[in-house]
Chains A and B, each alone.
Chain A
Amino acid sequence: MHRIISPKIAQKVMKLIFWISGIITILILLVIIGYVILKGMPVLNLEFIFGDPIDSGREGGIFPMIISSAYVTLIALLVATPLSVGAAIYLSEYASEGKLVAAIRFGAETLSSIPSIIFGLFGLAFFVIYLDMGWSVLSGGLTLALMALPTILATSEVSIESINKSYSEGSLALGATKWQTINRVVLPAALPGITTGIILGMGRAIAEAAAILYTVGAALSIPISIFDPARPLPLHLYILATEGISLENAYGTAAVLVIIIIIITVVTNTLVDRYSKKMMGR
């Protein structure tokens, strides 16, 4: 047998290839984030962040959009989290493999691959028109909840499934009921994974423009009631750019959105990390 390349060289070449893939991935991320933040920098100041938009956003700030984003995302998570974590607990702890479980899983998987504009259309037909919620924070938030749901469900289910069965056995053997076991042992252990799922779902919701395009309205003022129309950051960005209002302010808005997402991710990761370390005694 004659080898074309020696295993040692193959090993080195493969290591290099993987290293390059890793570096390229990080670079792409850095370039995109860096580009957006750099382009947005010139308009970023306190007045932009805390000011009201003037002349459709050509001048002024984006404070109502930041509040709108926080508002719709909060509603989306308040609705999606209990539903999807509940479904995840059912799937991983109660359901025995069968048609119902297969159907729920298939449903969730399909839901996660539906284009967001379809969610937008559904939201318009169902929440805005049929349920007569109008263009509002509530309609937008509920539409985003539908989008975040499969993400949180899938991540939570995997994380609950991954909890060592020996914990549950230990708890049941002490005479704990199934619910006590889930509530006091399984869920606390799965909390880091569930939190990651919620953050991923939040990332989907907060960054979404298409799904809220037809559901949330486009008001420039701060929404107070859940029935008020609003204009979350991605939608504002979309309108500024497509209607040629102000590309500079579009980049500024994008930069704010990216920075908010980075901050939330870093803060939750740190908290989750601290919790895991305390729990696992490292």
Chain B
Amino acid sequence: MEYRIEVKDLNVYFDELHILKNVSLKIHKNMVTALIGPSGCGKSTFIRTLNRMNDLIDTFKMDGDVLLDGKDIYDPKVDVVELRKRVGMVFQKPNPFPKSIFDNVAYGLKVHGITDNNVITEKVEESLKSAALWDEVKNILDKSAMGLSGGQQQRLCIARTIAVEPEVILMDEPCSALDPISTTKIEDLIHKLMKDYTIIIVTHNMQQATRVSKHTAFFLHGEIIENGPTDKIFIEPCDKRTEDYITGRFG
């Protein structure tokens, strides 16, 4: 089994707060890994460590290793901009830019120096198709993305992310602000994207974890209590706390 990301003994602090405690996790290539756990358990902090978004917070401190394809992403020689191109992210609340639908998808291409309009146009169409949004927006590409529904906006954010061809896509509760129909569409999309991308999804929704992921890690109070194949975690968890959480006894 090939691993795309390996996290070893990761500790994360914000000021004196010890958010993640000795977290180790291996993320399989081209597979969906779900991170579950109650609010405040460190799931979001964990995925934000994987594309170094935590660097934006002044009080962030960490130790341990985060390897992407065997290379430490916190090595001083690593270019954060390049890293974030390889590890894309979809946020909890859809956050398209206040620009046209086309410009939203073209944005990542342009900031990475692609200027050929034909290439950009082709790539925008391809990305919108991959994100299952093309048919809905192909006639309104020059309209503002802010006019789309929440579900469409989130698929646009996914299109924007895959346009720069990342290897990994991090999704931080991507459906928590969406209605059930939009959620289904995003989940179908995740299934489709799985073969080309390594996906890590944070979710509060147990059913969603079982529907979309092959592998699940359960976080509690900044530690990984248990991780393994999703079927096993949900059918016969080893740890009492995992069982309590997935059966809804807390969280």
Contact with A along B117-146 (1 / 0, CB 8 A): 000000000000000000000000001111
Is A184 interfacial (CB-CB < 8 Å)?
yes
Min CB distance, B57 to chain A, in Å?
A: 11
Are A174 and B108 touching (Cβ within 8 A)?
yes
Please state if B81 and A175 are interface contacts (CB–CB under 8 Å).
Answer: yes
What chain A residues lie within 8 Å of B160 (beta carbons)? 170, 174
Chain A residues with Cβ under 8 A from B108's Cβ? 174-176
* Closest CB in chain A relative to B210 CB, distance in Å: 27
The answer to whether B97 touches A167, judged by C-beta atoms less than 8 angstroms apart, is: yes
Of A175, A180, A282, most buried by chain B (CB within 10 Å of CB) is A175
Per DSSP, chain A at the interface is helix
Residue of A nearest to B160 (CB): A174
Residue of B nearest to A185 (CB): B97
A173 x B147 contact (CB < 8 A): no
Does B107 contact A184, Cβ atoms closer than 8 Å? yes
> Contact: B91 with A279, CB < 8 Å?
no
State in angstroms the CA–CA spacing of A65 and B98 once bound together: 42
What are the residues of chain B within 8 A of A164 when measuring CB–CB? 95
Q: Is the CB of A172 within 8 A of B53?
A: yes
Contact present for B82 and A175 (CB under 8 Å): yes
In residues 153-188 of chain B, which contact A (Cβ within 8 Å)?
157, 160-161, 164
Partner of A166, one of B84, B95, B164: B95
Q: Are A175 and B85 in contact (CB under 8 A)?
A: yes
On whether the beta carbons of B58 and A281 are closer than 8 Å, the reply is no
Is the C-beta of B17 less than 8 angstroms from some C-beta in chain A? Answer: no
B42 an interface residue at 8 Å Cβ cutoff? no
- Whether the Cβ atoms of A189 and B95 lie closer than 8 Å is no
Least Cβ–Cβ distance between A277 and chain B, in angstroms: 8
B92 to chain A, nearest CB (A): 9
Return A274 CB to nearest CB of chain B, in Å. 12
Contact of B95 with A176 in the complex, beta carbons under 8 Å? no
**B164: contacting residue among A96, A172, A174, A282, CB under 8 A:** A174
Per-position binary interface string of chain A over residues 265-278, scored 1 when its CB falls under 8 Å from any chain B CB and 0 otherwise: 00000000000001
Contact partner, A174, options B93, B144, B161, Cβ 8 Å:
B161
Interface check B56, CB cutoff 8 A: yes
Residue of A nearest to B109 (CB): A174
Does A177 have its Cβ within 8 Å of any Cβ on chain B?
yes
Query: Is the beta-carbon distance between A174 and B88 smaller than 8 angstroms?
Result: yes
- Cross-interface CB contact of B145 among A172, A180, A281, cutoff 8 Å: A281
Known: A167-B98, A173-B91, A280-B98. 14 other contacts (CB 8 A): A167-B95, A169-B91, A169-B95, A170-B160, A172-B84, A174-B85, A176-B111, A180-B111, A185-B107, A188-B99, A189-B98, A279-B99, A279-B144, A279-B146
14 chain-A/chain-B pairs, Cβ below 8 angstroms: A167-B95, A169-B53, A170-B97, A172-B53, A172-B56, A173-B51, A173-B88, A174-B85, A174-B161, A175-B112, A176-B108, A177-B81, A184-B110, A188-B99
Q: Which 4 A-B pairs have the closest CB atoms?
A: A281-B147, A281-B144, A175-B85, A166-B95
